[in-house]
Amino acid sequence: MASTQVNAPGTLGDGRAARARRIGRRRETRAALLFISPWIIGFLIFTAWPIIYSAYLSLTDYDVINDPNYVGLENYEELFRDPDVALALWNTFFFTVIQVPVYVIVSLALALLLDKAGRASGFFRTAFFLPKMTPPVAVGILLLLLFNGQSGLINEALSWFGIDGPAWTTDPDWVKPGLILMSLWSVGSSVIILLAALRNVPQELYDSARVDGANWWQQTRKITVPMISGALFFIFIVNTIAGFQTFTEAYTAFFGSGNTTYSNDAALFYVIYLFRQAFEFLNMGYASAMAWLLFVIIMIFTAIQIKVSRRFVYYEGEQR
């Protein structure tokens, strides 16, 4: 309110009012910059400069010990020749393209169940969320143990139904499916987001649909899903971006100094390969070029998803 008083015209002589306003504004700007300064400093040192330096490094050969050696676009050309980049991209696309839709569908199914749990929903919500609290390293270890081909719990459970489970952790064809299944264990936070969205759907919509004789499936398809499409899209996009950068679980389970037993080509995801190039082989220039390729890929995918979502996503009280 104070600022509107100062801004009110005619109360003071015009020149004095303008001066007071200018001083007030300058003071406010100075105060604001003081509050924002931590972020500005951090942004300049840890984001802006790294972006510029990373772009420069991507044009060099750099092993930390010797000075960067300018090589032009050679790293980028190498990206297209390197069979491991192609492999890592294939693994990452395969993982993301399958994992994300499955993940969204499973979260939706669980949220719908949870919505019907009534008074017990708090209990089930906790049960669904706890895995999300587990450190990803421990999830990677659990993957090795539970999905073990000979003695793992998963294959034992499958054998009850007469199914001879595959060697999830050693058979290259089954490594990614195993990782995808394991990742479903951590759907908890998506379930909570979707549950919150479900609770915001007006009850009247279901009431009138029921009067019109719509069954559960019709209600879900025609009311629930469209009404929570905003939250669904949010989960979809966040998980796609995370999927492209998947690292910890797969790295824990299939890479590292101790791993001599597995051929781990099937788990070589893009960020794992990038990490190894940078910090194990010390090819900082090449790894920087890899990072920029990843950036471009993520941008393209996000742009496509946003564009497609315009046609499907409904936002309540949408202004555009």
Partner 1 sequence: MTTQTRLDSEAAAPEPQAPRTPARRRRRITPAKVLIWAGLILSTLIFIYPFIWLISASFKPRGEVFDNKIIPETFTFDNYLNVWQEAPMALWLWNTVLVTVLAAVTVTVSSAMVAWGFAYFRFRGRNLLFGVVLATMMLPGAVTMIPQFLIWNSLGMVDTLTPLWAQNLFGSAFYIFLLRQFFLGLPRELFDAAKIDGANNWTIFTRIAMPLCKPALIITLLFEFQAIWTDLMRPLIYLRDSDNFTVPRGLKALLDQYGFGGEWHWEIVVTASVITTVPMIILFFLGQRHFVQGIATTGSKG
Residues of this chain, 180-219, that bind partner 1 according to CB under 8 A: 185, 188-189, 192-197, 199-200, 203, 216
Q: Which stretch binds partner 1 (CB under 8 A): 75-83, 85-93, 132-140, 305-313?
A: 132-140
62 neighbors 284 (Cβ within 8 angstroms): yes
Question: 13 or 149: whose CB is closer to partner 1?
Answer: 149
118 counts as binding partner 1 under rule CB under 8 A = yes
100 counts as binding partner 1 under rule CB under 8 A = no
**How is residue 288 written in tokens?**
């920087």
54 counts as binding partner 1 under rule CB under 8 A = yes
Helical ranges in the chain per DSSP H:
2-7, 14-43, 49-57, 74-81, 83-115, 121-133, 136-146, 153-160, 172-183, 188-199, 203-211, 216-219, 225-227, 229-244, 248-254, 270-275, 284-312
Q: Of 121, 220, 305, 309, which one interacts with partner 1 (CB under 8 A)? A: 121
Q: Which stretch binds partner 1 (CB under 8 A): 10-18, 80-88, 217-225, 297-305?
A: 297-305
Which 3 state secondary structure label does DSSP give 70? strand
303 counts as binding partner 1 under rule CB under 8 A = no
Question: 11 or 259: whose CB is closer to partner 1?
Answer: 259
Q: How many residues bind partner 1 (CB under 8 A)?
A: 110
Q: Which stretch binds partner 1 (CB under 8 A): 10-18, 89-97, 160-168, 267-275?
A: 267-275
**How is residue 134 written in tokens?**
């587990």
94 counts as binding partner 1 under rule CB under 8 A = no
Enumerate residues 148-167 that contact partner 1 by CB under 8 A.
Answer: 148, 151-153, 156
102 counts as binding partner 1 under rule CB under 8 A = no
Q: Which stretch binds partner 1 (CB under 8 A): 73-81, 93-101, 172-180, 276-284?
A: 276-284
What is the spatial distance between Cα 306 and Cα 288, in angstroms, rounded to a whole number?
A: 27
Question: 86 or 296: whose CB is closer to partner 1?
Answer: 296
What is the spatial distance between Cα 289 and Cα 76, in angstroms, rounded to a whole number?
A: 6
In this structure, what are the phi and psi dihedrals at residue 63, rounded to the nearest 5 degrees? -120, 20
36 counts as binding partner 1 under rule CB under 8 A = yes
Q: CB 283 → partner 1: shortest distance, Å?
A: 10
Question: 10 or 118: whose CB is closer to partner 1?
Answer: 118
89 counts as binding partner 1 under rule CB under 8 A = no
16 counts as binding partner 1 under rule CB under 8 A = no
127 counts as binding partner 1 under rule CB under 8 A = yes
43 counts as binding partner 1 under rule CB under 8 A = yes
227 neighbors 313 (Cβ within 8 angstroms): no
- What are the Cα distances from residue 50, in Å, to 44, 47, 53, 298? 9, 5, 5, 19
What is the spatial distance between Cα 305 and Cα 4, in angstroms, rounded to a whole number?
A: 43
Sign of CA dihedral 293, 48, 73, 83: negative
Question: 13 or 38: whose CB is closer to partner 1?
Answer: 38
15 counts as binding partner 1 under rule CB under 8 A = no
Which 3 state secondary structure label does DSSP give 11? coil
238 counts as binding partner 1 under rule CB under 8 A = yes
Residues near 241 by Cβ (< 8 Å), separated by ≥ 6? 298, 301, 302
